[in-house]
Amino acid sequence: MPSHANSQHEAVELQYTELEAIPKIVNEARACFQTGRTKDLRWRTQQLRALHRMLDENEQILTDASFGDLKKDPGETFATDILIVKNEIIDLVENLDEWTAPEHVPTPIIYATDRCEWVPPLTMDGCEQMADGPCSAYQLTLTPVAAAIAAGNAVVIKLSEVSKHAAAAMTELLQKYMDPSAIKVINGAVAETTELLKQKFDIILYTGNGHVGKIVAQAAAKNLTPTILELGGKSPTIIAEDADLDISAKRILWGKAMNAGQTCIAPDYILLPRHLAAPFYRAIEKAFTKLLTSNPEKVSHLARIINPTHFRRLQTMLDSQLAVPGTKVVVGGQTNADDLFIAPTVISGVGKDDASMREEIFGPILPVVEVEDLDEAVEYVKAREHPLILYLYARSKKTIEKVLRETSSGMVLVNDVLIHATVPNLPFGGIGPSGMGKYHGKFGIEAFTHARSVMIRSFKFSEFLNAPRYPPAAYSARGMVLVRAGMEKKFKGPVGRLIKRIGWWLPWKTWGWVAVAVVAFLVGRRSQGSL
């Protein structure tokens, strides 16, 4: 794969969607859904394969666009962005029949001959996906789009105007490869987003910051539209006393350098036992020299900050933190406003309420807060808003279980960074201020469908078994006995639980007919009038 380190990209003018066209675009997508076209499994498979082909055949265009936005190395774009989406699509295609099939559920004995199941009826006739910011533009835009398509939806995509090169590339390619009647693309900034949120959707997924997430949620609430919000936040990294400091330092630094720290799951700060500070800082210096050399600005694979506004925000944060007495740069610290470059920077001597600890950093700055022990670290995490992900470096199973048990976060990764996002069957999502809802793999299909309960009864056996529910039998002592026998649940003992486990191995119809025989025997002992 060719390097783009010395290439120059011409400025891209992202064509914004006309405001008056937005309602029409949304209505066209809804009209397509109402024809039933998107419900067809063949259509869904075709569209998913087309999306995969789009990524496969235009890798150069997409990596060029990421380089234009961030000077992001093409290898990093492929491995952490494009490849993840391609693998997700393949999993969806290969499991589509199974993941969209009706699922039978156990029933009380009185309903044993009836069909009870939940099915995904694909009622999401308008599905909006919005992305905001430079955080893995392709992955965080196209992964939920693939899930929405797999679930049988028509989709309206609002691309991020911040990553304008990536947005321009996706706009052109999506219109070329995908069904234009069902997959719509909208570009714009605040005005276009505001107009889009006035439209009625069945579900909205937003990826970005919490401030805009609240605006999206408030707009959705006007139509009682459910939302999936992927918001990020300050994700902590806890280093336990038994952690391998060299490996931990290397992995943390690698993760923080990825996309110049502009990822929603980047480690935001470190909680470190005070007595491990000196050896950990030595490990960080060693990893920095090995991964980034003594002159990181010359390292071709380091991405830049997305735009001057974000650069100034990060520079101000860094300057404010370094102005605090006792704060020092352990590694990094180099900045270049003309090139929008900030080196991965680890800072020591940071207080719990300092400038870098007040908001999500979303950049390559990594403060280290020294604590007495694991208990203090856990209490600090518990006292703050729930993060999108919590990172822990520890060997002890007892330590791992303690952190899992006593903290709350959208996700947890032990002894590594970022790579949980590459596992397609792990749900991806936050909790509380870091987001709501989840997707990836089967969870993505569940996110974009409504599980409709379905019960289908027979005219034949049903009425025979229903005898105890009609007066006068329903209000007699004998009728109550039959109702209890057929419907009332009891706590099971060891034998009962064993029978239940065995029962799951047999077809549900088998147990249904056994139940019919039992109930028929009870009901048949007396006529309806003698109950």
For 63, how many CA atoms within 13 A lie in the half-sphere containing its CB?
22
| Active-site residue, from 32, 127, 135, 264 | 264
Instruction: Kindly report the number of other CB atoms within 10 A of residue 132's CB atom.
Output: 20
How are beta strands 236-239 and 269-273 bridged, if at all?
parallel
Task: Decide: 262 and 359 in contact? Cβ < 8 Å.
Answer: no
Q: State the residue for tokens 């952490």.
A: 80
Question: In degrees to the nearest 10, what's the CA dihedral of 336, 342, 345, 347?
Answer: 70
The DSSP bridge partners found for residue 206 are: 130, 229
DSSP state of 439: B
Q: Are 38 and 154 in contact (CB under 8 A)?
A: yes
Give Cα 276 to chain centroid, integer Å: 34
N-to-C CA span, the chain: 82
Q: d(Cα 66, Cα 192) in Å, to the nearest integer? A: 23
What is the rounded CA–CA span in Å between residue 463 and residue 511? 19
**Residues 329/356, Cβ–Cβ less than 8 Å:** no
Residue from 230, 360, 370, 446 carrying the catalytic annotation:
230
Distance CA 106, CA 108 (A): 7
Asked if 187 and 159 count as a contact pair (C-beta separation under 8 A), the reply is yes
Distances (CA, A) of 480 to 461, 468, 471, 516: 20, 8, 12, 18
Question: Rounded to a whole number, what is the largest CA-CA distance in the chain?
Answer: 94
Q: Measuring CA to CA, which residue among 525, 492, 234 is closest to residue 388?
A: 234
What gap in Å lies between CA 227 and CA 216, rounded to an integer? 8
What is d(CA 95, CA 88) in angstroms, rounded to the nearest whole number?
A: 11
Put residue 391 in one of left, alpha, beta given phi > 0 → left and psi -120 to 50 → alpha.
beta
User: Starting from the edge strand earliest in sequence, which strands make up the sheet with 203-207, in order?
Assistant: 183-186, 155-158, 127-131, 203-207, 227-230, 435-436
For residue 514, the one-letter residue type is V
Q: Which residues pair with 390 in a beta bridge?
A: 412
21: its two tokens: 């066209």
- The C-alpha atoms of residue 375 and residue 173 are separated, in whole angstroms, by 51
| Residue 127 annotated to the active site | no
Token reading at 529: 């009038």
Tokens, residue 368: 């280290």
Question: What tokens were used for 107?
Answer: 């029933």
- Just list the catalytic residues: 230, 264
